[in-house]
């Protein structure tokens, strides 16, 4: 298994986990870009957002729902940002989809 995030799912690489259920894992980003910065990933290996299949729609919704629940638990009631980069051009560096959840600092738009 070459995928870094599959290794985190399997417990082969340590992560500071916030949450786990049968479908997703959430853990703190190792290089935080905000006071709160964690990732929500599916346990299923999906390379990019473009590889989502019809049958993954409920899983994608569960990722978003989990993200907002955890964001609130992490003290981000006032606001937070969800980001999912798709392919290297957009900034994706780990090819197992993940939802970034960033909060507790002002955010600007558009992103760089
Ligand atoms: P992206 O560039 O959108 O693919 O985001 C990948 C994210 O994964 C980056 O924010 C990295 O800091 C983060 N990351 C890489 N390796 C680890 C790891 N072992 N544990 C937690 N986060 C990681």
Q: 94 CB under 6 A from ligand 1?
A: yes
**Cβ neighbours of residue 99 closer than 8 Å, sequence gap 6 or more:** 39, 40, 41, 63, 64, 67, 82, 83, 84
Domain presence at residue 20:
yes
Domain presence at residue 112:
no
Q: 30 CB under 6 A from ligand 1?
A: yes
81: β partners? 102
Q: 112 CB under 6 A from ligand 1?
A: no
pLDDT at res. 39: 99
Domain presence at residue 109:
no
Structural domain total, the chain: 1
| Structural domain of 40 | 4-103
Q: Quick one: three-class SS letters along 66-107?
A: HHHHHHHHCCCCCCEEEECCCCHHHCCCCCCCCEEEEECCCC
Q: Provide the CA 52 distance to its chain's centre, in angstroms.
A: 15
Collect the ranges in the chain with pLDDT lower than 50. none
- Cβ-contact 70, 38 below 8 angstroms: yes
Record the pTM: 0.98
CATH number of the domain that residue 28 is part of: 3.30.428.10
Q: Any idea which residues carry the catalytic annotation?
A: 98
- Cβ-contact 29, 39 below 8 angstroms: yes
Tens digit of each residue's pLDDT (9 = 90 or more) over 11-43: 999 999 999 999 999 999 999 999 999 999 999
66 Cα: distance to centroid of ligand 1 (angstroms): 18
Domain presence at residue 99:
yes
13 Cα: distance to centroid of ligand 1 (angstroms): 13
């Amino acid at each position: 298994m070459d995928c870094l995030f599959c290794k985190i799912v399997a417990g082969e690489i340590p992560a500071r986990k916030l949450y786990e259920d049968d479908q997703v894992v959430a853990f703190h980003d190792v290089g935080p870009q905000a006071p709160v910065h964690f990732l929500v990933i599916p346990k299923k290996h999906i390379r990019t957002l473009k590889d989502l299949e019809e049958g993954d729609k409920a899983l994608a919704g569960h990722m978003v729902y989990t993200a907002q629940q955890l964001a609130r638990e992490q003290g981000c009631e006032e606001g937070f940002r969800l980001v999912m980069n798709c392919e290297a051009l957009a900034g994706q560096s780990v090819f197992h989809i993940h939802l970034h959840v960033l909060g507790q600092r002002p955010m600007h738009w558009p992103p760089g």
